[in-house]
Amino acid sequence: MSSDPPNPRPRRGLGETLAQAAGDAMEQRLLSQIQGGPIPRHLAIIMDGNRRFARGHGLLRVEGHLRGKEKLEELLNWCLEVGLRTLTVYALSTENLTRDTEEVHELMDLFTESFRKIADDPRVHRHRIRVRALGSRERLPARVQEAIRYAEERTRDHDQYFYNVAIAYGGREDILQAIRAIAREVEQGRVKPEAIDEAMVSNHLYTQDLPDPDLIFRTSGEERISNFLLWQSAYAELYFCDVLWPGLRKLDFLRAIHDYQRRQRRYGA
């Protein structure tokens, strides 16, 4: 039998240790700068690049998605640290539902586990985080719907932070279901067509009681909105970063917030 200790830690070279120390110092400096400025009220994230990350690291596709899920759990801490109160992540678009059956199944398992885990996460109850799913949940398998119900039910009275998972979500579908609901109210004589205004449409979207996103952040180098929060993003700042989602570092996240703080928001004025 070998006498090697189990899982020996790879020894770090001096260069690596110095690079790590420099990265930590940059992170600290950025964090204190950010804490003096305006934090987005609502950050929306398009988490992109799980499969490319897996390919680049010799991992299975499912492991790429698993690393993506772990990254999201880490990101929640960063949001709490900077005091970011509303976070919406794009977990699954209506288009993603057409991926091959095996991948969709793997993703559904991850979502089920993720909603159950977050519902029991002490952080969620300590910080009073309300968890919700946005999208056409009737298109999801029963196990995911049940996990969503569990997370929403366990956190329904929390009111300090808002964590929203856009799942089976499409921006156009969001607008369509709002139009249909308003049309029904017109048909029943409860609303006059000329009374339909922006606030009424906003109030019929999945995001009805949330502020519009101030910042939309997408990873992986793609620069598209991909049917995410179309109505709600009218005045959002957009930030794109080249890192693949599972490889996102706290420094990348802080840079996005810092960049947002340097922009002048004019709302068309």
Active site residues: 48, 96
Q: How far is the CB of 198 from ligand FPP (least distance, A)?
A: 30
Counting contacts by CB under 6 A, is residue 227 touching ligand FPP? Answer: no
Counting contacts by CB under 6 A, is residue 49 touching ligand FPP? Answer: yes
Position among 88, 114, 155, 207 found at the interface with ligand FPP (CB under 6 A): 114
Counting contacts by CB under 6 A, is residue 67 touching ligand FPP? Answer: no
Counting contacts by CB under 6 A, is residue 65 touching ligand FPP? Answer: yes
Pick between residue 94 and residue 178 the one whose CB is nearest to ligand FPP: 94
Helices within 57-187 (DSSP H only) = 61-82, 101-119, 122-126, 142-155, 171-187
Q: Residue 27: how many CB atoms within 10 A of its CB?
A: 16
- How far is it, in rounded angstroms, from Cα 219 to Cα 239? 9
Which tokens go with 240? 């794109």
- How far is it, in rounded angstroms, from Cα 175 to Cα 181? 10
Counting contacts by CB under 6 A, is residue 220 touching ligand FPP? Answer: yes
Counting contacts by CB under 6 A, is residue 210 touching ligand FPP? Answer: no
- How far is it, in rounded angstroms, from Cα 192 to Cα 33? 49
Q: How far is the CB of 249 from ligand FPP (least distance, A)?
A: 16
Answer left, alpha or beta for residue 89, where phi above 0 means left and psi between -120 and 50 means alpha.
beta
Counting contacts by CB under 6 A, is residue 134 touching ligand FPP? Answer: no
Cα Rg for the chain, rounded, in angstroms? 21
Q: How far is the CB of 268 from ligand FPP (least distance, A)?
A: 32
Counting contacts by CB under 6 A, is residue 72 touching ligand FPP? Answer: yes
Q: How far is the CB of 122 from ligand FPP (least distance, A)?
A: 18
Do residues 118 and 126 lie in contact, with contact meaning Cβ atoms separated by under 8 Å? no
Query: For the chain, how many residues are written?
Result: 269
Pick between residue 34 and residue 89 the one whose CB is nearest to ligand FPP: 89
Pick between residue 45 and residue 215 the one whose CB is nearest to ligand FPP: 45
Counting contacts by CB under 6 A, is residue 247 touching ligand FPP? Answer: no
Counting contacts by CB under 6 A, is residue 94 touching ligand FPP? Answer: no
- How far is it, in rounded angstroms, from Cα 240 to Cα 222? 7
- How far is it, in rounded angstroms, from Cα 196 to Cα 184? 13
Q: How far is the CB of 149 from ligand FPP (least distance, A)?
A: 16
Do residues 139 and 168 lie in contact, with contact meaning Cβ atoms separated by under 8 Å? yes
Counting contacts by CB under 6 A, is residue 68 touching ligand FPP? Answer: yes
- List the Cα angle 160/162/167 in 5-degree steps: 165
Counting contacts by CB under 6 A, is residue 173 touching ligand FPP? Answer: no
Counting contacts by CB under 6 A, is residue 106 touching ligand FPP? Answer: no
- How far is it, in rounded angstroms, from Cα 61 to Cα 69? 13
Residues that bind ligand FPP (CB under 6 A): 47-52, 65, 68-69, 72, 91-92, 96, 107, 110-111, 114, 165, 220
